[in-house]
Amino acid sequence: MVVEFYYHPQSPPCCLVWMVIKELDIPHKAILVDMMKMEHREDAYKKINPKMQLPAVRDGDLTLTESRAIAVYLSAKYGKGKKNENLYPKDLTEQARFNELMMADVDNYHKMLNYLNPEAIFDGRAKGVVTELLPKCEAVLAEYEAVVKSQDYMFGNHLTFLDFACVHTLGCIEMGGFDDWTKYPNLKRWSAKLRKLPYYEECVKKPTESNNRDFQQFLKEGSAMYTKDAKP
């Protein structure tokens, strides 16, 4: 019996889980749910996740959604004895410090989303990104830049799945057109390390490029990209 992983490569929460699976070399069956064809809204997937969101993971009788909950579970269950067995820390105090940063990253991700404004653009309430919120996103970059100034990774000097979460939070900002990382030399150094992961190309680079291209198109065409019934 292997872990079933329902995903789409262009979904950042899916990519977070995907990286955990790859890093821990978890035996799994990857099941593509094509969001672009609205397969996540079809009955077959609704039976897996009634909320119709990706990703989902099935491990025996347990079906889990919510990427960070999945990442904690998979890291704790399948990390033992692996090279990076602390992809999620085991010690209570370390877990607390990790959870703190993980929850802060969720907030930061929402700051990025507030700037990118996809929902309001789709609903026709706005025509583009909220440029006034770009400074708040840059403050997020500065926050992460400070974190990796004195350490190799987002949680100390070893890889954790917080790095996987942060790479997507930070990548978000490029969807709005941002591409000047000169003020963030330590983030560039951190990013260069992640780029060496054997699954980086598949789980980060390709999806990010596709998302940036699609979002620029979305900005031009807005809700016309979708029919009303096929709301994403």
Residue 66 or 174 with smaller CB distance to its own copies? 66
132 binds its own copies (CB under 8 A): yes
Q: What whole-number distance in Å separates Cα of residue 84 and Cα of residue 204?
A: 19
SS3 214: helix
The crossing angle, in degrees rounded to 10, of helices 185-195 and 161-175 is: 120
Binding residue for its own copies, selected from 25, 34, 42, 100, defined by CB under 8 A: 100
Which among 22-30, 119-127, 185-193, 205-213 is the span making contact with its own copies, rule CB under 8 A? 119-127
Contact at 8 Å (CB) between 45 and 37?
no
150 binds its own copies (CB under 8 A): no
Q: How far is the CB of 57 from its own copies (least distance, A)?
A: 9
Q: Which amino acid is at 21?
A: I
Q: What whole-number distance in Å separates Cα of residue 159 and Cα of residue 87?
A: 6
Binding residue for its own copies, selected from 76, 134, 194, 225, defined by CB under 8 A: 76
Distances (CA, A) of 151 to 3, 86, 168, 198: 33, 16, 19, 22
Tokens of 225: 């990209």
Tokens of 206: 């390709």
Residue 113 or 194 with smaller CB distance to its own copies? 113
73 binds its own copies (CB under 8 A): yes
38 binds its own copies (CB under 8 A): no
125 binds its own copies (CB under 8 A): yes
Q: How far is the CB of 113 from its own copies (least distance, A)?
A: 8
Binding residue for its own copies, selected from 36, 69, 142, 230, defined by CB under 8 A: 69
The residue ranges that bind its own copies (CB under 8 A) are: 51, 62, 64-70, 72-73, 76-77, 92-93, 95-97, 99-100, 102-104, 106, 110, 114, 119, 123, 125, 130, 132
